Chains A and B, each alone.
Chain A
Amino acid sequence: MNKGMKKILAPVASLRLTVLLFALAMVLILVGTVAQKYEGNWAVVDQYFHSLWLWMPVGFADLRVPFVGGYSLCILMLVNLLAAHAVRFKLSWKRAGIIITHVGLIVLLAGELVTGLFAVEWNMTIDEGRSANYAQDIRVSELAIVDPSPQGHDDVLTVPGSMLARHTNGGTINEPQLPFDIQVLRWMPNSTLTGRGMADPMLKQNTPEVTEGFGTMALASSLPPATGVDGGQVDAPSAYLRFSRDGETLGIWMVSLHGIAFDDPRQPVTVGDKTYLIELRFRRDYKPYTLHLIDFKHDKFVGTQIPKNFSSEVRLVDPTHNEDRTVLIYMNHPLRYRGETFYQSGYSGDTRTILQVVRNPGWLMPYIACSLVSLGLSVHFGVMLRKFVSRTRR
């Protein structure tokens, strides 16, 4: 490497920078952990760890200071490590162990980046005797506008909840593919429903007058977002929406993740001679295969209600891959199929299973990284031992 390049890289390769980065990482992890008391786990993960930078609270008043996010730290550590190799480290047998260990660390950092950027976690809920062909992301909501008129399938349009949130307080979404314009009168990231008859008069007064659907019976009111200490509670958004077509109002609807409290959470919206079904739901990902829940079992520790073991006996049917087999999913024995892993995650009642569906293209990288680090440390130990023995002999 030429001297000019070395000069440029020297500060980046500094060991002081490494120590500083580790110190910053410790602060980030500490504050990020405490933050989960006040915010949702995933909001914290996105804000603190899956970000380039953030406004970090300093603990008093509402003062916040800019701070490096997890991605920046990860990238800086990678650059620091590579620059150190480029500037200081020399290729030699004696250093082989160190180099392999560092390659392992690089794979580990890269793996975290890949996981952070591309891994997805979904839920699949199946009742005994029923089938499921989609998973849902319980952290992301969407407004589904379903045209049920085609034979054999539904035509589905989905508007992300984040888009509705961006247009809250009167903004209008008028995308060309939508059958009507959507004016977002109010968006509530987390909410609860109350029957209109027993709602607080102030709430009634401040709520848009709903003309259609179950919003005529119930009112949605805003709740603070679920925090990381709320025992796995997830946000259930609601919204008040005005639909219009060619400037003519079709009506005002209330849509809510709590819509399942009603007989059917899908509400009809008629435009001309066509009826669409609208529903605010968790984001769905349809699969080309079906899981049918044959039997769900859960054992409890004797004399208590503490779950001991869950298992789901499912039939996996995938016509595209000529697959039709029965699988038992239980703790630490997930089903791996087509790049996705189905873990037994939870249950509701005695007959409903909840599977966690994880797709992580970088799932192997931590294993490879740990193997490389172990190998590197072993090689380095061997090299040092040999050196020690030969010195002792002399």
Chain B
Amino acid sequence: MIKCSKYISQTVIAQAWLKATACGVLSLILLAGCEDEQVRSYQAPKAPAYTPPAPMGPAGRPHAAEPGITWSLPESWLPIPGGSGMAMASFDAPGESGAAKVTVTPLSGQAGGVLPNINRWRGQVGLEPVGAIEEQPMTSVQVDQSPAGLIDLVSPPDATAGIERMLVVLVPRPQHNQTWFFKMTGPNQTVDLHKQAFVDFVESVSFAEAPGE
């Protein structure tokens, strides 16, 4: 090195370093700046069927909110982006025997009435209809400081219905001309596993009042 330093001037090295760095940094920034936001045109292989985009993150989020409503989301639930169908929000609750699906759906008015809805859900799990609301067993839950009924429907062993188990909480909000449905459907084992989480989720719901209400 001592020998080398006789032949290689420090000045040359230092100046070369400075120049190289300046050029390097400038060209990096220029190169990165070249990627302008423009209309792109390309050929893509034909998609056999549409694949949904990635869900909103690898794991459930602790809090979620939609306009007019807030809740605390269980850690293990996975949000399904955009909800599904008429649902405002939907989530996958994972389980060994398959995921259960949780949906939050607001409908206008009385959404067809409580009894017809109960009988519709009973039909979906393969149960006989009931004649009156009182005949349907319910567990009391608190939703936004108001009592509501949790309906737990299990498909009978001989039934051929597509849904094994369903948990529903129906929250009428007549002052807003709305009825909210919180529903979990899926394999019996998975729903059983997430039942407490579902109750906690529903009980964490808070309806935000519009200013002035």
Residues of A whose CB lies within 8 Å of any CB of B are 1-2, 5, 71, 75, 78-79, 82-83, 85-86, 90-93, 96, 106, 110, 113-114, 117-118, 123, 125-127, 130, 132-134, 136, 138, 142, 146, 148, 150, 152-160, 162-163, 175, 177-178, 192-195, 197-198, 221, 223, 230-234, 236, 256-261, 264-266, 281-282, 284, 286, 298, 305-307, 345-350, 354
User: Nearest chain-B residue to A194 (Cβ)?
Assistant: B88
Contact of B52 among A85, A156, A260, A305 (CB under 8 A): A260
- Among A93, A130, A158, A282, contact of B40 (Cβ-Cβ < 8 Å): A158
Can you spell out 22 A-B residue pairs with CB atoms less than 8 angstroms apart?
A: A1-B14, A79-B22, A91-B13, A92-B5, A96-B1, A113-B28, A118-B31, A134-B44, A136-B54, A155-B41, A162-B37, A177-B41, A198-B108, A198-B178, A232-B58, A236-B56, A260-B52, A305-B74, A305-B193, A306-B75, A346-B54, A349-B92
CA distance A118 to B55 in the complex (A): 25
Task: Knowing that A5-B15, A198-B107 touch, tell me 14 more A-B residue pairs with CB under 8 angstroms.
Answer: A93-B2, A125-B55, A126-B51, A157-B40, A198-B108, A231-B60, A232-B59, A236-B56, A256-B82, A260-B81, A346-B55, A347-B58, A349-B78, A354-B54
What's the Cα separation between A232 and B38 when bound, in Å?
Answer: 28
Q: How many residues of chain B have a CB within 8 Å of chain A?
A: 69
In the complex, the answer to whether B32 meets A117 with C-beta atoms within 8 Å is yes
- Tell me whether A195 and B54 are in contact (CB under 8 A): no
B62 at the interface (CB under 8 A from A): yes
**Closest-CB distance, B33 to chain A (whole angstroms):** 9
Contact residues, B1-29 vs A (CB, 8 A): 1-2, 5, 10-11, 13-15, 17-18, 21-22, 24-25, 28-29
Q: Which residues of chain A are within 8 angstroms of B13 by Cβ–Cβ distance?
A: 91
Q: Determine whether the beta carbon of A93 is less than 8 Å from that of B1.
A: yes
Residues 69-107 of chain B, each 1 if its beta carbon lies under 8 Å from chain A, else 0: 000001110111111111110001010001100000011
Chain A residues within an 8 Å CB radius of B59? 231-232, 307, 346
- B175: which A residues are within 8 A, CB to CB? none
A160 touches B37 (CB 8 A): yes
- Do B54 and A258 touch across chains, with their CB atoms under 8 A apart? no
